[in-house]
Structure 1
Amino acid sequence: MRVVGSVPLAAQPGARWLYNTGAQVLGVLVARAAGRPLPELLAERLLDPLGMVDTGFHVPPDRLGRFGRQWLGADVYDEVDGQWARPPAFPDAASGLVSTVADLHAFATSLRAAPQADMLTAQGGAHDEEGREGWGLGIGVLLADLPDGRHAGSYGWDGGLGSTWWTDPVTDTVAILLTTDAWTSPQPTPVFTDFWTAAFAR
């Protein structure tokens, strides 16, 4: 944190959003404030209460048989006994969790059932209205309707290792797709666009 704190600001707080960095720093700060490792804190405050028994920063040995090899195009990106088979040196709050459809559904359902939160409204400066998602709203929040059927106000996340979860409050729909094919670019493949259309276009 000392090194991060010594780096000049890229922008004034609230004026710009940077991918990953804020969540990584937040994970460290939350763990320090609680005086406990981030994996323990997440389990106690979020995962255990929601019954998310298969979500964590690694896959335990007795569950590796349910875990798939990761692909990047035609090449193996990570083996079953690779990076997710052991606890990480740094539990990364930005991109470090492994989960299942059932656990993600429990998480999405809890958000869908929660009262409207002011934290999803703008807390800082203007957001990038040109982008597909409202990255500056804390998570991916759509700022406009999309051709695939998702409405403005839909929220979720696309994971670089081949996952997508979206909730559309207009149609009260939760859709989750987990694959073993990592994204090769920021643009979704037909597998994902077809999935979103099938789930949300009505």
Structure 2
Amino acid sequence: MTPQQAATKQPAAPQTPPLPQAKPESLGLSPLRLQRMSDAFKREIDKGTLPGATVMVARRGQIGWFEALGRQNPATSAPMAQNSIFRIFSMTKPIVSVGIMMLIEDGHFLLSDAVAKFIPEFADQKVGVEHNGKLDLVPLKRAMTVQDLLRHTSGITYDHTGNSLVQQLYQQSRLRSRKISNAEHAALVASLPLMCQPGAEWNYSRSTDILGRIIEVVSGKTLSAFLTERILAPLQMAETAFHTGPENAGRLAEPFLIDPWNGEKVQLFNMLEQPVMESGGGGLVSTTMDYARFCQMLLNGGVLDGNRLIGRKTLELMASDHLAPDVKVDSPLMPAGHGFGLGFAVRTHQGMAPFPGSLGQFFWSGVAGTFFWIDPAENMFAVFMMQGPGQREYIRTLLRDLVYAAVE
């Protein structure tokens, strides 16, 4: 190679190092039962329920099963690959929640601090109470806190989880735009009334988007720059970002254009388009192995490859139930026998839920069908990736049934 060629040669794209692998039986996982799991997902693909998926099961620090099934994109014949790229939507939330807790560990603020301390527009918020078909605006009984944002007791909502008068205001706003900044988005949320008093109810919401803005205010960096510096680069999650480059156009996992169950059109964002808004609640794209590295760090108590990201006791706090008995919970997203921590749902009862698991297990998922859980009791995690929004709840339960059936 000439000096001129050396000078113009582009550096190789960073690669995500794989986690170590082992035979399932050496990890206390039944190969026969994992094969049955694989066969079950192949049946779903053959039925046309989902185009394709990746499934990973890891235990005792090693991957016991990692498989790509079906098609990456229903419009092409390209098979799903282990390094296919997915919109992980709300699986962004645990990453951003870890980022917030890192700033708390750095001493920048407290969980009990008011959100208005960082975003002054929240100081003037009111609660919208429906009365005779109209909204009465009433003052806050107490300030919304950072802890409220993390556990979704802020009173903020999502426009797609219901059709209350407050949610109708959300629907009429520009909140879904990817062309507004995180600062503009936060100010817009602050200009709208809350669904309830802070601390009164669990409402899945845009709260984690507001956490993303707090990260920007406190760190002085964009959310993507902070996440890359403090989480993604240390974990070597080389392919997790708010968009991906044109060189990866052939690796994008896509959904059916029409949902196979309800016949509705499926529209997901373009992963090649760089958004203005870096949504802390749902904007990241990632690969199965990238997210597996995040999961292994969580399972290890905050450390991976000797690199500690977050303290063990801080992570224990995050993976504990933070919902008081008087907090109203009425959502299909919160299964029976579960509570919610600081960025994750947490299993609080061995029974009650219609699927197996362990006490202390914590998890979350994405609206397009991605899903993960961490099971400290079994020293195990699982990552599942697909782009099938309409099938996500069925597949989450199916996956739990199949994986736990394989645990020896």
Question: TM-score, with normalisation over the residues of structure 1?
Answer: 0.84
Partner secondary structure for residue 216 of structure 2: helix
Q: Does 1:177 align with 2:384?
A: yes
Q: Could you tell me which of 257, 262, 266 is aligned with 1:77?
A: 266
Deviation at 1:20, TM superposition (A): 2.7
List gaps (5 residues or longer) in structure 1. none
Q: Could you tell me which of 84, 98, 122 is aligned with 2:285?
A: 98
Classify 1:162/1:119 alpha carbon distance in 2 versus 1 (closer, same or farther; 3 Å). closer
In structure 1, what is the equivalent of residue 324 of structure 2? 125
Aligned residues: 197
Classify 1:153/1:8 alpha carbon distance in 2 versus 1 (closer, same or farther; 3 Å). same
Give, as a single letter, the amino acid of the residue that structure 2 aligns with 1:143.
T
Cα separation, 1, equivalents of 2:359 and 2:288: 24
Cα separation, 2, equivalents of 1:14 and 1:129: 11
Question: TM-score, with normalisation over the residues of structure 2?
Answer: 0.44
In structure 1, what is the equivalent of residue 294 of structure 2? 107
Deviation at 1:129, TM superposition (A): 7.3
Partner secondary structure for residue 157 of structure 1: strand
1:167–1:173 contact (8 Å) kept in structure 2 = yes
1:164–1:177 contact (8 Å) kept in structure 2 = yes
Q: What's the RMSD between the two structures over aligned residues? A: 2.5
1:59–1:98 contact (8 Å) kept in structure 2 = yes
Question: C-alpha offsets along residues 49-69 of structure 1, whole Å, 9 cap, x if unaligned?
Answer: 001011111121112211122
Deviation at 1:162, TM superposition (A): 1.4
Classify 1:143/1:31 alpha carbon distance in 2 versus 1 (closer, same or farther; 3 Å). same
Question: C-alpha offsets along residues 8-61 of structure 1, whole Å, 9 cap, x if unaligned?
Answer: 443333333331321011111211221111111111111000010111111211
Deviation at 1:183, TM superposition (A): 2.8
In structure 1, what is the equivalent of residue 218 of structure 2? 33
Classify 1:76/1:4 alpha carbon distance in 2 versus 1 (closer, same or farther; 3 Å). closer
Deviation at 1:158, TM superposition (A): 1.8
2:339–2:346 contact (8 Å) kept in structure 1 = yes
Q: Does 1:86 align with 2:285?
A: no
Deviation at 1:102, TM superposition (A): 0.4
Classify 1:3/1:98 alpha carbon distance in 2 versus 1 (closer, same or farther; 3 Å). closer
Q: Could you tell me which of 157, 180, 199 is aligned with 2:364?
A: 157
In structure 1, what is the equivalent of residue 401 of structure 2? 197
1:17–1:136 contact (8 Å) kept in structure 2 = no
Deviation at 1:122, TM superposition (A): 4.5
1:142–1:154 contact (8 Å) kept in structure 2 = yes
2:344–2:362 contact (8 Å) kept in structure 1 = yes
Question: C-alpha offsets along residues 145-167 of structure 1, whole Å, 9 cap, x if unaligned?
Answer: 34432122111112111111111
Deviation at 1:76, TM superposition (A): 6.4
Superposed, which structure 2 residues align to 1:39-58 within 5 Å? 39-58=224-243
Cα separation, 1, equivalents of 2:271 and 2:205: 19
Q: Does 1:167 align with 2:374?
A: yes
Question: C-alpha offsets along residues 65-112 of structure 1, whole Å, 9 cap, x if unaligned?
Answer: 111222352476358xx5211111211101111111101110011011
Classify 1:128/1:150 alpha carbon distance in 2 versus 1 (closer, same or farther; 3 Å). farther
Partner secondary structure for residue 77 of structure 1: coil
Structure of higher RCO (CA pairs closer than 8 Å, 6+ residues apart): 2
Q: Percent identity?
A: 27
Cα separation, 2, equivalents of 1:13 and 1:159: 25
2:322–2:340 contact (8 Å) kept in structure 1 = no
Which range is displaced more, 111-120 or 161-170? 111-120
Question: C-alpha offsets along residues 166-198 of structure 1, whole Å, 9 cap, x if unaligned?
Answer: 1111211111111121235xx722x43332212
List gaps (5 residues or longer) in structure 2. 1-185, 302-311
Cα separation, 2, equivalents of 1:123 and 1:144: 15
1:15–1:125 contact (8 Å) kept in structure 2 = no
